[in-house]
Every structure is written in C-alpha cells, then in structure tokens.
Structure 1
C-alpha cells in the first residue's frame, strides 16, 4: 500500500491529528443528577452498550469511592442500547450526585464514539475510562489521582485483576510488579508493559489529551491501545502504582471474544500499528510496542484455530500480505521479544514466505500442545523440557518453564526448575485476593534445585505457589500442594 492510500485510511478512520473526529460524532440527549460540580478532580468516562447486567456493580463501585462524589464527574455515555441500561442509570441519577447521562441518538458501532463524547465533555483534571462491565476498588480513584499529583507525571498505570466467573488473577503485571515509581522514562519499560494498554488501570491528565488532540480512532478494535500508546509517547514519563485499582470482567466471555478475532480484527490492528509506526520515530519504546503486538497477532492468526477467521493456507497468506501492506519492511527483529518458541518459528516461516510450512507446523504443534496439556507428555534434555517430538522435520520447541516440588523437610520444600528463562523469585498468592502476595525465602542449592521456605501456619487451600521469571512471566509450582498436605 502506498503512502497516499494509507493516509486515506487513516483519515477515514479518524486517526489523524485534526478536528474531523469531533465532526463525526452523533448527537445526544443529556440528563444529569440534580447536583453536579464544575471543577471535579477526576472525570470517569463510561462507554456502554447493552451491559445492563453489570451496571449496578460498576455504578456502586463509583458512588462509593473514598475520594467522594464531590470530586468526581461520572459521564455515562450510552451507545443507543436496546436493553434496560437507561432505567438502571436513571435510578442512580435520582439518588446520587455527579452523574451525567448522555444518550447517543445513533449507534457508533464501538466504544470509540462514546469515549470521544466523554473527552469533549470532561471537566476533571484527570481522566479515566471505565468499561461498563468492569469496576473499581473503592480507593482506586483517590489513590490514582494522588499518585499523579505527587509525581507530577501526565499518565499513571496501576494494578488490576481479571475476574472470570468470580476467580481473580493478576493482569498486566508489568504495571505494578516493580513497586511504586514516578518519572519513569517510557524508553526503560519492558516489552511486557505493552501486553495490555487497555483502559483499565490507567489515568491520564486532561491537559495532555487536550494539548495533543488525543482521541479514539473510529474502529472497533485497537482504538484504545492506539490512544494510550500515543498518550505514553507524549507523556514521555509515567507513574506506576503497586496497589489494586481495577477489576476487569471476563465472565463467560472467552468463547464469544475469540469469535470476534476475525479478518476485520486483523486489518484494524495492522492499520493501528501502521499509524503508530509512521507517527513516531524509531526507538526502543516503539520497537517493543510493535514487537509485542505483532507477537500477539502471530499467535492469533498463525497458531490459533478457535477464532472467527478460519485457519487455512489462505488465512496465513492473507495475514503475511497485510503485514507487508501495512508495515512494509520492519527495521528490527521483533522475534527477539517473543515469549514462546512456537511464535518465533511461525514468524520465521512468514519471513521466508513458507506458508505451507506454517500450516504443517501449526498442525503438528497443536497436537504436541494437546499431548502436553492433557497427557503430560514432554521430553527432557539436560536442564530443559520440550514438547513431544512427533516429526523430526518439525522444529522442536522448548517449554519456557517447569517448576516441580520434589521433597519436603518441615517447612522447607525442594523445587526443581527447568527453564530457558531467567529465574527471579518464588511467591505465594491468595486465591481470593491475588494482590495479597509475598516473596518466599529461597536458597539455590544446585543448577536446577532451590530450597524454599514455606510458612508453617499457611492455609495451603487458600494460596497458590508461583515462580516468577523473565521479570513478569510466571509459572505455577507443580505437586507442591500434595507435599504440603502430608
């Protein structure tokens, strides 16, 4: 694709830094609480479409914030829902202050429209964007805003957990694993930092958004990551906070979400990456960002079979042709940042345009993955485990990490680690409150063995046991519950 064609696409989807995005927004009707405040500290922008089952939980988390409603502007922007969302919000309007309800007269087809309406109507010093099915810890907005006030930074990243049918797990660990930080140069961030960049757990100064005319591009996917990466680039330095702030809802959505990973999804993401690649200079931040996102696309369209774009030779060819179309020649090797050998191999095949090689590798590696996951079949070579080797012509793939508890003496557990990564530490984590986590005292006794101290009083049914490696990757310790229960 030539430069003119790309610019036309960028313009059509409102990527560009001009006023066109404001002109394309639908009109709306607005109703507000009886009492709203002119100078709130934080504006919360909530995009909604048919999320009625989750709204009470989300709204309760906002009206009970410790920062108090006097310091909040709650902008609920409804994208012409067809459920009873409006009735729920109106009940809160009658009972609580600081709520502004914007009902769009036309559906915009994605969260970008409501979020942009929110940006234009926000009055707070700081902005956050909350999905209507997610919710906040009650101290979140006070903690986030105070962190930015104290640091003077324009942008902050804070702790979040993912909830799947009530089970909580840590999400985007690079945001908070390093503890509290301020004035952190984005060029120093790891590639893992770019795994998420969704709206959850992020706060941005409104002055930064206004200064650089930041807005969400008009496409259903990639709009939020584009927005927040642009904000990072203009911010240059960020604040990080180690406390839990945000709950990301993924209840029963995994299957439906995978079906939205279709061809339009692929093109939209490549268009967003192309825009970022052309807008910002080559440096380590952009390199890590593009690498992490390319790795994710390689996983979805080179390895997965359960998405909305059916796996086939045609899909592989189409994927590579569009990488070339939108990104052209990439001036670095993104595979050095990829986390698994399988993704690195698919990328190598794509570079060689060996599309049938991708298909063969996908078929064999899918089988090997099933054998490992369900039958526990692996092959060990010295200090590393590998997936089963079923065909000598298919490259062998190392398993990033295995951690196995092998012996216990009182409160000491011997754990063997087999990895191609870099060991960081062991930790325990509360299953119900995963931010309740502690490092375990450890002594290395051989090349692969570690002696780990486990508190005698611990309730093993309440905790998981993890190895943290490569800074932010993690692996559960096998067999440790059996040893500790004896």
Structure 2
C-alpha cells in the first residue's frame, strides 16, 4: 500500500466527507433542559475513566461562564466500568449535559470525538480528555480571548499533574505571555513540543468550513487535527492563564507501553500527511522538527516502551522515517534541544545504524558518569560529557551552573551553556507557577553573575532556576550548602 492509499484508508483527506457516514451509532440521553445555541461545546471521549469523571465533571458544571452557556457532550466508547453510572446524576442535577453511549467500541478516541464534531452546536469547541479537568474560569477565559481577538484558534496554559506534583506543560504559552492575532509563522519551535487537545479552543466555523475531523487511527489524530486548525486559522490567540490540568498519575503509567511499533508508524503517517499537504514554511519546519525530535527520543533513545530496544528497532525506525518523510528541504536538527539528539539525527542521515547503536550505548555510560560521579570535560568555557573515545561526537552539557558564594541575599554563581541565558527565577514548590518571581541580577564577568535572592528564601520550600531562551531551565549545584 502506498502513502496516498494509506491517507484514504485512515480518512486523512480533507476534501472527502465520507468520514461522516462512518460515524458510530449511539444511544443519547440528555438533561431535561438543553440550550440549542451554546457558547462552547465540550467533546469528551471516554473509555473506562470512571475514577476520574467526578473531578472532570465538577470542573465543568462549576465553570464561571455558566453551565447555561455550555454543551457538555460526554461520549462513551462502550466502557466496561461504571462510567455511565457516574455521569447519570449530572444529567439529573444539571442542564445542558448530553450522554452519547456508542453501540460498539471504536478502538480509539477518534471515534467518539468525531461523533462530537458532528453534533456540536457551540460557537467554540474544546476537546477534553475524560481524565483531565479545567480550572473553573477556563472556558470563560478562552472564549473571551477569542471574542476579543476574532481569531479561530486559542491556546492557554497547561499544568501536568503526576500524583499531585505539578509541572508546566506549555512553557511557550505561559512564558511568552498574552498575544492576539499572532501569526503561526512567528511561533517558536518549542510551541510545537505539545499540541494535544488540552488548553486549546477553536471556532466551530473553522472546523466545519475545512471539513476538519479526527483521522481513523488510535494516536496522532489530535495533533493532526489541531495543526490543521492552526493552518487554516493562520493567526492564533495566546493566553498565559493556567486553564487546563493534564492527568499523568502513576496509574496512567501504561501509556509508555502503548508507545509501540503501530504508534511509531501512525505518527510518521500523520507527519507525512502534514508535510505533503501544506507548503514549506517556518511553521511547518518547526512543527515537523519538534515532532521528529520527539519520535527520535521515543524510538531511538528510550528503553521502557512497548517496542523492544535493539538494532532492529533502530533500522525499522530509519526505514519508516525514509518511507514517510523522505528528504526534507530543511535540517530539522537545528531545532533540536540538545547535542545528543542532533548526533542521533546525523547517524540516521548517514544510515549508520551500527554507529548509532554504539553511540547510544556509550552515551548512556557517559550520562551515568556525569550524573552520578560528576565527571565532565571543559574546553574553552564549554562543558562536555566525558568523552571516553575520541571517535565519538563531542556532546555538550546543556547547562553547568554552580553556586559559589552567598553574601546576605546576594548569590554569586557561574553559568556555562551554549544557550542564551534569559534570567533567574524563584518559585514556591507547592505553587511553582502561580508564585513565579523573576529575580534581579547582574552579569559581572563572562559566565559570572550576581543574583538577588528574595527575603526569607528557604531551600526546602523554594525552587531557584536559571532560565534560557529555548524555554528550558536548570537548577544550580551547591546552592543547598550555601542557604542555611
């Protein structure tokens, strides 16, 4: 089967509305009161997420925009747990909730999501995973943002939660701050490090006008959908408010095992379609580069996934990369975030699988020597992982930062990196992003800085970070010893 036939088989073609004829059949149960002209439609695909549904639904019925302005579409993909029983009380107690129970399992989120697209009535549309949840002001914030800008696509801040520990998933949205009518050609490469459904709102008009839908495969359906929506929108609105919580609890750890050979092929097929469909420009270059880097991380470097690590896996990845992506008109590795991944790309470009396998093995040794024993090499103020063999590509440390002295609240430190330093920040560990504080600093010599710590800085309850222009950050060695 050639690539074009695959596009047809998996319903990629945006000129073909045949996907609508394949929509799953369902039984619909609704609240007593239903608004026929809601402001926002929420499409929730569910399969066996009963444990998370109360948290998700509570976040929706308490939205400050008002439940009267919403169309809550809970679409169950033939769950075998008690998901339906969890949702039934909400149908009784709240208006504007619609429960679609599919007659047969569709095998992925794309099936329920497409049911939602066909039956949505709102001016705006969001896709919410059943185990995620919103800040209570989220839908008002995002819809007000699009009302004010006239854009068809909006993004806002995403917090990832792993067993209650919070981290920022959408640094470009949060750090860059508020924008409206921002050209997608101006978006940084790191923007495309995440393009799942969380924290995104689109106009239903852009979906209808361009026949947007979720392709018929279990993974990469959402990233394709949202990238296409961005391309047709041309400009986006961006807000730094933290609106959406992404659940990655330990009991979701099985996600790593779902990263298998089918996952790899599905992703490469999706990138191939984007590459074929849209003209070469900076948006496509940055999108493809970041997604290719992500696949390199998963299928060349990671061990604990559902595709056993071996030379054969590397060869298979290279063969499918060539088949689906082929020759690119740009070098994606210039958007990669570290030397390690850039070196992997160079080995792949040369089709040197034996060399790549050896490089990855020896780098893992070098990584342990650096992280566990502190071994490193320094050449002209640049720090490298220990070399081991002269034939290996040199690999720079992303950052080497070390605290030297603390006088009252003035911290003296040295920072070495090939990245551009942006500044220094302090945060409370319990609220790392709501408490974010930029710190005053002076550069007193090459690689040497003075930073003013806040009064009452306590190492055990605060986080100190060096920040860089690629949205990455680093801690500082030796700080704990200096802070009493």
Q: TM-score if structure 2 supplies the norm length?
A: 0.97
Distance 1:120 1:312 in 2: 44
Shift of 1:391: 2.1
What does the per-residue CA deviation read over 1:86-135, in whole Å, with 9 as the maximum and x for residues that have no partner? 00001111111111100011111111111111111111111111111111
The answer on whether the counterparts of 1:157 and 1:176 sit within 8 Å (CA) in structure 2 is no
Name the SS of the counterpart of 2:175 in structure 1: coil
Distance 1:246 1:434 in 2: 15
The aligned counterpart of 1:447 is 446
The answer on whether the counterparts of 1:424 and 1:469 sit within 8 Å (CA) in structure 2 is yes
Bigger mean CA offset, 238-247 vs 295-304: 295-304
Alignment partner of 1:136 is 2:134: yes
What does the per-residue CA deviation read over 1:197-219, in whole Å, with 9 as the maximum and x for residues that have no partner? 00000000011101101011111
Name the SS of the counterpart of 1:174 in structure 2: helix
The answer on whether the counterparts of 1:168 and 1:431 sit within 8 Å (CA) in structure 2 is no
Distance 1:58 1:98 in 2: 15
Distance 1:285 1:188 in 2: 8
Distance 1:481 1:68 in 2: 47
Alignment partner of 1:225 is 2:228: no
Q: TM-score if structure 1 supplies the norm length?
A: 0.97
Alignment partner of 1:82 is 2:89: no
Distance 2:229 2:117 in 1: 14
The aligned counterpart of 2:467 is 468
Shift of 1:255: 4.1
Could you list the structure 1 runs, at least 4 aligned residues long, displaced by more than 6 angstroms after superposition.
none
Distance 1:391 1:405 in 2: 31
Count of residues in correspondence between the two structures: 482
User: Which of these residues, 144, 147, 166, is aligned with residue 146 of structure 1?
Assistant: 144
Give the gaps of 5 or more residues in structure 1: none
Alignment partner of 1:261 is 2:255: no
Distance 2:374 2:207 in 1: 50
Bigger mean CA offset, 468-477 vs 326-335: 468-477
What does the per-residue CA deviation read over 1:240-294, in whole Å, with 9 as the maximum and x for residues that have no partner? 0011100111001574222111111110011000000111001111011111111
Distance 2:72 2:326 in 1: 43
User: Which of these residues, 364, 388, 391, is aligned with residue 390 of structure 1?
Assistant: 388
Q: How does 1:30-179 map to 2 (within 5 A)?
A: 30-179=28-177
Q: How does 1:264-275 map to 2 (within 5 A)?
A: 264-275=262-273
User: Which of these residues, 319, 325, 328, is aligned with residue 321 of structure 1?
Assistant: 319
Distance 1:479 1:134 in 2: 37
Name the SS of the counterpart of 1:445 in structure 2: strand
Alignment partner of 1:375 is 2:373: yes
Q: RMSD of the alignment, in Å?
A: 1.3
Q: How does 1:249-398 map to 2 (within 5 A)?
A: 249-253=247-251, 255-398=253-396
Distance 1:200 1:430 in 2: 25
Distance 1:109 1:287 in 2: 31
The aligned counterpart of 1:212 is 210
Give the gaps of 5 or more residues in structure 2: none
